[in-house]
Amino acid sequence: MSQPVPGKPALLTVDDDPSVSRAVARDLRRRYGERYRIVRAESGDAALEALRELKLRGGAVALILADYRMPGMSGIEFLEQAMDLYPMARRVLLTAYADTGAAIDAINLVDLDHYLLKPWDPPEEKLYPVVDSLLEAWAASDRRPVDETRVVGHRWSPRSSAVREFLARNQLAYTWYMSDESEGRRLLAAADIDDRSLPVVICADGTVLVEPTDTELAQHLGLRTDPSGDFYDLVVVGGGPAGLGAALYGASEGLRTVLVERTAAGGQAGQSSRIENYLGFPDGVSGSQLADRARRQATRFGAELITTRDVIALECNGSARSVRFADDTRIHAHTVILATGVAYRSLAAEGLDELTGRGVYYGSAVTEAARCADQDVYIVGGANSAGQAALYLARGAKSVTIVVRAPSLTASMSHYLIAQIDQTPGVHVRTCSEVVGVAGSDHLESIRLRNNATGEVETVDAGFLFLFIGAAPRTDWLDGLVARDDHGFILSGPDLVEDEKAHATWPLDRAPHHLETSVPGVYAAGDVRSQSAKRVASAVGEGAMAVMLVHRYLGQL
């Protein structure tokens, strides 16, 4: 094994085949040897030893390339342990064609950045472009050591679950301790806090947060919650695919851009376990991975991203457009893009409110997936998000049942997902059915299902219930200023013109731009827009298109 020496950032490659190991190291050294130290190992244990030595000496690791098939420790097992030592290093799996399925699984398991097929010749075409891109992303990222944040809470506490979900969605590392276990009790005693004040978050610097709000978590754990200025070229409201697309293209086109998000980048798409119909990712990509890459890309171009800020009003002040926050502060801009997406509708079922966060969750609670192992899981909803969650949870759950009111999934779910559900053991679909009640002591234990065709009500055992019902736009705060349709979705462009009442409020002689709302200079993109496609790709495209129209608007001022 080549010995790690601190100084230059390291590129580490591990392969149990000496000839392959030497070939990878040779190709990496040929292109990157002047700027990076190439570290070669021929087993997972040896590679971990090299990483630990680098860690002790304060060395940096930019990229780790591991072979999938290694005796004693597979490439995936090695990368899992390597993440603990160098979580910001980019991770690549080297695999044969027959093992591509394992590589796809590793995308979610170890947040894999890329996988390469053997052979990678010529490296100028198959190796170097991939490594160039990953090293560029690594160089632009925040590479400070990940400090340990500890969370102590009750297993079935809604707020404990919400805190963990917030940290996970914002890519903030933490360790979870249950309050009724020994280590959890020890941490509470050390902080002099009893278990009636949960959850408790203990930051790396020793700060103790008792029942913290999302804003408190963000402020103490390094997320930006305040804009750096008060006037921008473009304010983007909402951090889903449309908002991230708008922020990326706005900043890359030279606009001073700020994105405001209330929870975490990615929106509902960021919670998807696997998106398979997004252009450029033939093997699928997790929502969190896509959101994280988009966030890093937008900030690399100079966009500001601020979180945990609730926008409560949009105001027109002459040619300026102002966004007002819940604390009555404002930021101003020439233009605004509304990309607030949609929220899941509440389900009116007996007992459901009391058990929300205690086995009942709206959307795909990523932190709860591991706890679904060997459980009977029910999912309400027939759209793609429900199908993606069902397939993901089916990996460990005892059974997964999708409950839909419709007679089939074909009207609301993509064909490829329906085909996968049909072929996945343990996933069942109950059509013409709905949840009418839930029950349990301190957490969900059973569900009452009604067959709408027969009227029969059945009680079934269930450990978890995930709800993906309908899409309600978050647009009440625009009331009286921006025209919306009967369901609250924002009217724009041609739809604005066709609506006589809305078009009557249009103040300019020119026709509104394609995505422009009833307020000139304010655009809508993504799911919040009336008649939108409700797909990730179209949302990203609309975000990019809105920026083009922003430029057109600014040129007319």
pLDDT in tens for each of the 557 residues of the chain? Answer: 444 444 689 999 999 999 999 999 999 999 999 999 999 999 999 999 999 888 767 789 999 999 988 888 888 888 888 887 888 899 998 887 656 666 566 565 557 788 888 888 899 988 999 999 999 989 887 655 555 789 999 989 999 999 999 998 898 888 899 999 998 998 898 888 988 889 999 998 889 999 999 999 999 999 999 999 999 999 999 999 999 999 999 999 999 999 999 999 998 888 887 888 888 888 788 888 899 889 999 999 999 999 999 999 999 999 999 999 999 999 999 999 999 999 888 899 999 999 999 999 998 766 787 789 899 999 999 999 999 999 989 988 999 999 999 999 999 999 999 999 999 999 999 999 999 999 999 899 999 999 999 999 999 999 999 999 977 898 999 999 999 999 999 999 999 989 888 888 899 999 999 999 999 999 999 999 999 998 899 999 999 999 999 999 999 88
Q: In whole angstroms, what is the distance from residue 16 CA to residue 22 CA?
A: 10
- Rg for the chain (alpha carbons), in Å? 25
Characterize the bridge pairing of strands 464-467 and 376-380: parallel
Fold for 352-467, please state it. Answer: FAD/NAD(P)-binding domain (3.50.50)
What are the structural domain ranges in the chain? 10-140, 150-220, 231-343+472-556, 352-467
Annotation: CATH topology of 10-140: Rossmann fold (3.40.50)
**Beta strands, E only, 123-253:** 150-153, 175-178, 200-202, 208-210, 231-237
Best CA proximity match to 221, nearest among 211, 231, 212: 212
Helices 75-85/100-109 angle, 10° precision: 20
- What are the tokens at 255? 């606009």
**CATH class assigned to 231-343+472-556:** alpha beta
* Domains 231-343+472-556 and 352-467 fall in the same CATH topology: yes
Q: Return the half-sphere exposure (C-beta side, CA atoms, 13 A cut-off) of residue 16.
A: 13
Which residues, in sequence order, are bridge partners of residue 314? 323
Cross-strand partners of 399: 376
Residue 331 sits at φ, ψ, to 5 deg, of: -125, 150
Residue 246 CB-half CA count within 13 A: 40
| Placement of tokens 């509104």 in the chain | 512
Q: Residue 360 and residue 443: Cα distance in Å, rounded?
A: 8
Say if pTM beats, i.e. exceeds, 0.85. no
Examine residue 123 and say whether the peptide bond preceding it is cis (omega within 30 degrees of 0): no
C-alpha dihedral, 480 to 485 to 488 to 491, nearest 10°: -80
Cis geometry, peptide bond prior to residue 407 (ω within 30 degrees of 0) = no
Q: Does the domain spanning 150-220 belong to CATH 3.40.50.300?
A: no
The neighbour count for residue 295, using CB atoms within 10 Å, is: 24
Distance (Å, rounded) from C-alpha 74 to C-alpha 76? 5
Close Cβ partners of 407 (under 8 Å, ≥ 6 residues apart): 431, 432
